[in-house]
Structures are given as structure tokens and as C-alpha cells.
């Protein structure tokens, strides 16, 4: 049941007399992104409907037509380090310095001396810069990027391998890079006002270590799929929409072993895919309104920076790391043929592979999955079945979402060749990474955070965000229970807490779906719901933030500070350190 495109009526002429009623008529009569032939053949609801292409708040959508499934899904290049071991530059000798943990390994709990191989540090340099990119074939779009590409380069590292990235800001806007899902020092975690100012650089130090638990490394926390993106105060939404995002993949011994034993696909069969919706002006520039505080919705679905791409695949298993890279749009992914084998949620692998029919991806969430094309038909579509009309969130409730099947086709897999039944041995039930749950008897404190909308602004516990104020001061080395309450009004908030994984205990008083019971870093707080999670706070002193990952809400300061301390401290209080 395709919903017709909603358009906000705003009939008066704008000052410049731009896109008007005529354009609106075009948008409703022509499905953007789905050629008439394709539509006739597949009978799919398409670009004009809420599931794939509904836009919120604007009078029109993208007025550019293109033929989908003509461009191959690209893969971001893997970034090479400048040097390994010997620094090619003096770490910290830039305007914004480097984390103090770099000079004092005990602070980083970097037990390279015993538990990890003593990996030498990898030194990188990255430039944040303006560039031009083609999302839609033949259309050149100015973008903001890491190293000139959308998505930015993919980083790969071993768990235990320290990384320093010297990031230069060649743009004219303040930036702050956050490695989402990472366990990192506060200096380089993307705190919103720890900027990289224009023309300056900051050395981001990622220890790539896991927290310690009772004197042993907690390898259950080994990250697999992280992503990095801009996080600067008040400007995050625009910078991410304009292109500032990329992947950061790490591998520990366990995961390498799974790969080596041919349990998991690897190399060219292991593909990170960022799914993002965009909207364009007639001249190919990105449509963006920094004063739309509801959430950015686009009608052109881009995967790894290309609108509705295609991918030629062999008849074997592939591993995909799907990222909900939009800033407000939620996706629910489904295959036109077959199910997924779930390998992991957000940054971490599951204890065992599970069956997943659809993948609910809020902004910032990742689904690490296997798609098995061994017995697939010649064409398989990756679809989005979730209907979302505006920036508040999907239609329906968290446990009762409005979907449409078939959904909006995001990309097309063209399946070729003979079946390869021995491509990788993973199947539903295959053991992956053991998970040690956080137990209730480990909890030392319970905190309640109520998210409220008042007069166009967001409050948490009746307070506005203040970057100098710590709202929670957990004791390092302990576990806490956090209860998150969303008061309602149809607003969905994917809540992301920095520093460590959290374990979702209850959603609306019920045990969550299987895929949400282990480790996550972004928890979907549906409209009018409450959830409870357990979380540990280890290794690094604060300050860190937690916030809604609808980045338009984040920019309207829907954010709070938690500042893990080595001694017991009452909150609220001033943050313990600052790294401007």
C-alpha cells in the first residue's frame, strides 16, 4: 500500500521564486529513482512514497531523474598509514595536540606488554576537505569529505594496534571527529567542542585496546564494525549530510581465526555499505536546511555514495556491514529473496550467528550480516520497507511499525556464475564471539534520563545541554543501570552513548528482540517508550557525551555529558578536563 507523497503546503512565493508548484507536480507524478520500465515490471511502490522517498517538511523532492541500478556499488579505498612504528611527524605537535594517554600508556590500560602483541603504532594523516562527488550519475555535487571521497577512506587495524591519525581541517568550518563505537581517550573522541579549527590539526589517538575486567582484557568488547563521522557542536547534521562519514574496521585474533578457518568471508567478499538518503536541488547541489530541526529526510537513496547502485555478485556467501548512515531516516532492510544471517549488531559480533528476516537500522546503527547468494535467483533487491513521513521517525510504533512489502529498492544484486556451496561455512547457529553479560549484581548505580520536548527545544531531566557541565560521573571500573524515557509526541530517538557498549535489558518492560540482547552502542527509543540498559565505564577519564543520533536533534542540543572519574563524585559538576 503505497502512500502518496505528502507535501507541506507553502503556497506563497519565496524571495527568489525558486521551485514552485510546477516542480511539486513533477515530484508527485514521476517517481524519482525508479524508471517507468522498472516500475511496470516490478510493480513496486517507489520514489514518491513514504518508505523510500518521502520527504518531510519540504514542498518538493529532488527534481532530477536518473535510471537506477546502472552504477556499481563502490567500496571506499582502505587508507594506508604514512608510517608504522617510527612517527613521520611529532605526535602532538599540532594546534590541538594529542591525548595525554599517548605519552602515558598506563592511562590507556594498554597492556601491550602482556596481553597483546606489541604492535607498533600506525601513523596516518587525513585531510578534511571540500570536494565534488557524483551521487547521481552525471551530476556533480559539492560535498564535505574526509580525504576527498564519500564515504571517507576505510581504516583497518588489529585490536591492540595503536593508531594515530593527524587530521587537518582544510575547510572553513570547525570540525570534531568521532569514532562511533570506539573505546578511546576523551581528547580524541569527538566531544562536540574539542574542535579541529579551520587550518589546524588534531592528532587523534586510538588505542584500539579493549577494557580490562578483573585483570584480563575483555576481548568480548573487541570491535568489528565502527564508523567515524563529524561531531562538531551545532553543525554535525550538516557535516554528516554533506558527506563526512567513513568506516573503521578492526580485527582481533578470534575474528581473524574465523576468517582463516573459512567460517566468515573476507577481503573482496566483506563489504561495508553506508546507506544514506539525500535530497538535491535542480543544480545538483545538496538540498540542506540548517533551520529544519525535525530531521533531514532525502528521497535519493545512496549506498556508499551512489544512488541506487547495482552489484555483481557470485553465487556464494558475502558479508555486508550495513550502516544506517542517514541523519534522521530509519531503514528496515529486507531482501526480495531470502533472509539474512545476522553476525553482529552495531560494533560487535554476536555470540552466535542468528537468523534475521529484516534489519531495523536507525541512524548510526550497523547490521553485520551474511547474504547467501548460493541458491539465489539472477536478481535480488535490497529493499527498505519502513515508512517514514517526517524527521520525527517512522510511522507506527517501535513494536508495530508501518511497513510496505515490497519495499523501496535500494540496490540490485546481479547474481552470476555457478553455486559455490563451500564459500564460507557460517550458518545460523555458528559460534562467533562469546558474550559475557553484565549481571544485575554488578550494578552500583541507577540513573534515569528523561527526554522531553519543550517549546521546540530538547531537555534531558529538565535541563539543557551544557558542554562544561558533567551530568553523570560514573566511577571508572563499575557498571551502572541507565533508564531512558522518551515522553512521546511521535518523536523517535536513537540514543548513542560514547565510550563502551551497552546491554539493553528491557524495552517497554519486555526483553528485547534477540539481536538487541547482547552489545549495542545505539538504542532506539521509540516514541513514548522506556528502555533499560546496563553499561560499564572503564579505562578512560571523561568527559564523554551521550545523545540522540538524529543529528538534527543532536544539534538542537539533545545531548548530555557523562564524565567517568577515578574517584566517587557527585553530579552535576564541572567536567574534569577539557581538550580544546
Partner 1 sequence: MIDGDGVEPEGIIGLNVVTRSMKRMGRLVSRCGISPVRRMLRSHSPVSQASWLLADRVVPDGIAHIEGTVMKLRRSSLAATLLLAAIGCSSSHSDGISLVPQAATSLEAASKPVSKPSLAAQNAARLNALSTERLPDAKGHRVSEKFPDVELLDQNGKTHRFYEGLVKDHPVCIVFFYTRCQGSCPGTTQAMKKLRKLLAPEFGSEMRFISLTLDPDVDSSEELRDYMQRWKIEDSEPGQPEWYYCTGKYEELEELRRSLGLYELDPIIDADRTQHAAILTFGNDRTNRWAALPVGSDMQDIVDTMTRIAGNTERQRYAGAVKLGRTAHGHLVAE
Please identify, using beta-carbon distances, which residue of 136 and 507 lies nearer to partner 1.
136
Q: How far apart are CA 577 and CA 169, in angstroms?
A: 23
- Looking at residue 6, what DSSP letter applies? P
Q: How far apart are CA 289 and CA 233, in angstroms?
A: 16
Contact 465, 495 (CB under 8 A): no
Which range in 221-229, 287-295, 336-344, 352-360 contacts partner 1 by CB under 8 A? 287-295
133 CB-near residues (< 8 Å, 6+ apart): 140, 141, 143, 145, 149, 150, 243, 305
Binding residue (CB under 8 A) for partner 1 from 21, 140, 142, 414: 142
Contact 543, 562 (CB under 8 A): yes
Please identify, using beta-carbon distances, which residue of 188 and 407 lies nearer to partner 1.
188
Binding residue (CB under 8 A) for partner 1 from 39, 42, 65, 105: 105
Which range in 223-231, 320-328, 362-370, 454-462 contacts partner 1 by CB under 8 A? 454-462
Residues 186-215 that bind partner 1 (CB under 8 A): 193, 195, 197-198, 200, 212, 215
337 CB-near residues (< 8 Å, 6+ apart): 376, 377, 380
Give, rounded to a whole angstrom, the gap between the first and last alpha carbons of the chain.
51
Cell of 243: 558527506
Please identify, using beta-carbon distances, which residue of 107 and 139 lies nearer to partner 1.
107
Please identify, using beta-carbon distances, which residue of 121 and 550 lies nearer to partner 1.
121
# residues near partner 1 by CB under 8 A: 119
Contact between 130 and partner 1 by CB under 8 A: the answer reads no
Residues 382-411 that bind partner 1 (CB under 8 A): 390-392
Binding residue (CB under 8 A) for partner 1 from 464, 478, 487, 508: 464
Contact between 322 and partner 1 by CB under 8 A: the answer reads no
In the block, which residue shows the cell 561531531? 231
Please identify, using beta-carbon distances, which residue of 505 and 539 lies nearer to partner 1.
539
Contact between 132 and partner 1 by CB under 8 A: the answer reads no
In the block, which residue shows the cell 570491535? 223
15 CB-near residues (< 8 Å, 6+ apart): none
CB-count exposure of residue 184 (10 Å: 0-12, 13-18, 19+): buried
Binding residue (CB under 8 A) for partner 1 from 37, 172, 400, 418: 172
Contact 263, 254 (CB under 8 A): no
Binding residue (CB under 8 A) for partner 1 from 23, 70, 100, 447: 100
Residues 60-89 that bind partner 1 (CB under 8 A): 72, 74-81, 84-87
Contact between 20 and partner 1 by CB under 8 A: the answer reads no
Please identify, using beta-carbon distances, which residue of 130 and 517 lies nearer to partner 1.
130
Contact between 113 and partner 1 by CB under 8 A: the answer reads yes
Contact between 568 and partner 1 by CB under 8 A: the answer reads no
Q: Give the shortest CB-78-to-partner 1 separation in angstroms.
A: 4
Q: Which residues pair with 169 in a beta bridge?
A: 128
Rounded to 5 degrees, φ, ψ at 14 are -75, 165
Please identify, using beta-carbon distances, which residue of 285 and 399 lies nearer to partner 1.
285
Contact between 290 and partner 1 by CB under 8 A: the answer reads yes
**Residue 114: how many CB atoms within 10 A of its CB?**
8
Q: How far apart are CA 218 and CA 467, in angstroms?
A: 31
Please identify, using beta-carbon distances, which residue of 86 and 441 lies nearer to partner 1.
86
Contact between 277 and partner 1 by CB under 8 A: the answer reads no
Nearest to 494 by CA among 393, 402, 400: 393
Contact between 117 and partner 1 by CB under 8 A: the answer reads yes
In the block, which residue shows the cell 547474481? 415
Binding mask 227-246 for partner 1 (x = CB under 8 A): ------xxx-----------
In the block, which residue shows the cell 550467528? 353
388 CB-near residues (< 8 Å, 6+ apart): 50, 51, 54, 56, 297, 329, 330, 394, 395
Q: Give the shortest CB-501-to-partner 1 separation in angstroms.
A: 20
Cell of 354: 542468528
Q: Give the shortest CB-504-to-partner 1 separation in angstroms.
A: 28
Q: Give the shortest CB-483-to-partner 1 separation in angstroms.
A: 24
- Looking at residue 441, what DSSP letter applies? G
Binding mask 521-560 for partner 1 (x = CB under 8 A): ------------------x-x-------------xxx---
Q: 165 vs 97, 99, 226, CA distance in Å?
A: 11, 12, 16
Please identify, using beta-carbon distances, which residue of 46 and 223 lies nearer to partner 1.
223
Please identify, using beta-carbon distances, which residue of 95 and 405 lies nearer to partner 1.
95
Q: Give the shortest CB-167-to-partner 1 separation in angstroms.
A: 16
Binding residue (CB under 8 A) for partner 1 from 266, 445, 475, 571: 266
Nearest to 549 by CA among 520, 573, 577: 520
Amino acid at each position: 500500500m503505497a502512500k502518496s507523497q505528502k507535501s507541506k503546503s507553502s503556497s506563497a512565493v519565496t524571495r527568489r521564486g525558486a521551485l514552485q508548484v510546477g516542480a511539486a507536480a513533477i515530484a508527485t507524478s514521476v517517481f524519482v529513482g525508479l524508471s517507468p520500465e522498472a516500475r511496470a515490471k516490478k510493480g513496486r511502490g517507489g520514489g514518491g512514497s513514504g518508505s523510500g522517498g518521502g520527504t518531510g517538511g519540504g514542498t518538493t523532492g529532488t527534481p532530477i531523474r536518473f535510471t537506477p541500478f546502472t552504477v556499481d556499488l563502490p567500496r571506499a579505498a582502505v587508507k594506508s598509514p604514512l608510517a608504522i612504528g617510527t612517527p613521520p611527524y611529532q605526535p602532538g605537535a599540532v594546534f590541538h595536540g594529542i591525548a595525554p594517554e599517548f605519552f602515558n600508556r598506563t592511562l590507556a590500560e594498554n597492556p601491550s606488554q602482556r596481553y597483546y602483541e606489541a604492535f607498533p603504532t600506525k601513523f596516518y594523516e587525513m585531510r578534511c576537505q571540500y570536494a565534488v562527488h557524483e551521487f547521481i550519475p552525471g551530476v556533480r555535487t559539492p560535498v564535505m569529505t574526509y580525504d576527498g571521497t564519500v564515504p571517507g577512506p576505510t581504516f583497518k587495524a588489529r585490536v591492540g594496534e595503536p593508531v594515530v591519525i593527524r587530521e587537518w581541517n582544510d575547510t572553513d568550518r570547525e570540525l570534531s571527529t568521532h569514532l562511533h563505537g570506539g573505546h578511546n581517550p576523551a581528547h580524541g573522541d569527538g566531544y562536540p567542542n574539542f574542535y579541529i579549527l579551520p587550518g589546524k590539526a588534531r592528532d587523534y589517538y586510538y588505542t584500539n585496546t579493549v577494557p580490562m575486567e578483573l585483570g584480563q582484557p575483555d576481548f568480548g568488547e573487541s570491535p568489528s564494525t565502527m564508523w567515524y563521522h563529524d561531531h562538531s557542536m551545532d553543525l554535525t547534521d550538516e557535516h554528516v549530510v554533506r558527506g563526512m562519514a567513513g568506516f573503521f574496521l578492526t580485527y582481533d585474533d578470534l575474528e581473524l581465526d574465523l576468517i582463516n578457518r573459512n567460517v566468515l568471508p573476507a577481503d573482496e567478499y566483506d563489504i561495508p555499505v553506508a546507506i544514506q538518503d539525500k535530497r538535491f536541488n535542480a543544480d545538483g547541489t545538496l538540498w540542506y536546511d540548517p533551520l529544519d530541526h525535525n530531521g533531514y529526510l532525502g528521497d535519493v537513496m545512496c549506498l556508499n555514495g551512489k544512488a541506487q547502485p547495482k552489484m555483481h555478485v557470485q553465487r556464494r556467501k558475502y558479508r555486508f556491514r550495513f550502516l544506517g548512515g542517514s541523519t534522521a531516516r530509519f531503514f528496515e532492510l529486507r531482501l526480495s529473496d531470502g533472509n539474512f544471517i545476522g553476525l553482529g549488531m552495531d560494533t560487535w559480533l554476536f555470540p552466535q550467528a542468528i537468523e534475521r528476516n529484516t534489519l531495523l537500522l536507525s541512524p548510526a546503527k550497523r547490521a553485520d550480516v551474511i547474504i547467501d547468494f548460493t541458491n539465489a535467483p539472477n536478481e535480488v533487491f535490497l529493499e527498505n520497507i519502513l515508512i517514514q513521513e517526517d524527521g520525527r521517525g517512522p510511522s507506527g510504533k517501535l513494536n508495530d511499525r508501518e511497513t510496505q512489502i515490497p519495499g523501496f529498492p535500494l540496490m540490485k544484486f546481479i547474481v552470476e556464475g555457478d553455486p559455490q556451496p563451500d564459500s564460507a561455512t557460517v550458518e545460523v547457529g555458528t559460534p562467533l564471539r562469546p558474550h559475557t553479560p553484565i549481571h544485575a549484581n554488578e550494578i552500583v548505580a541507577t540513573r534515569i534520563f528523561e527526554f522531553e520536548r519543550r517549546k521546540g527545544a530538547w531537555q534531558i531531566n529538565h535541563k539543557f545541554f551544557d558542554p562544561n557541565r558533567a551530568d553523570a560521573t560514573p566511577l571508572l571500573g563499575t557498571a551502572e543501570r541507565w533508564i531512558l524515557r522518551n515522553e512521546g509526541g511521535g518523536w523517535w530517538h536513537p540514543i548513542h552513548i560514547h565510550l563502551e557498549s551497552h546491554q539493553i535489558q528491557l524495552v517497554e518492560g519486555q526483553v528485547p528482540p534477540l539481536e538487541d540482547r547482547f552489545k549495542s552502542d545505539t538504542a532506539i527509543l521509540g516514541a513514548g517508550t522506556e528502555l533499560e540498559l546496563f553499561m560499564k565505564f572503564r579505562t578512560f577519564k571523561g568527559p564523554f557525551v551521550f545523545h540522540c543520533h538524529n543529528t538534527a536533534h543532536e544539534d538542537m542540543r539533545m545531548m548530555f555529558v557523562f564524565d567517568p572519574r577515578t574517584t566517587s563524585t557527585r553530579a552535576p559538576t564541572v567536567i574534569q578536563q577539557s581538550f580544546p
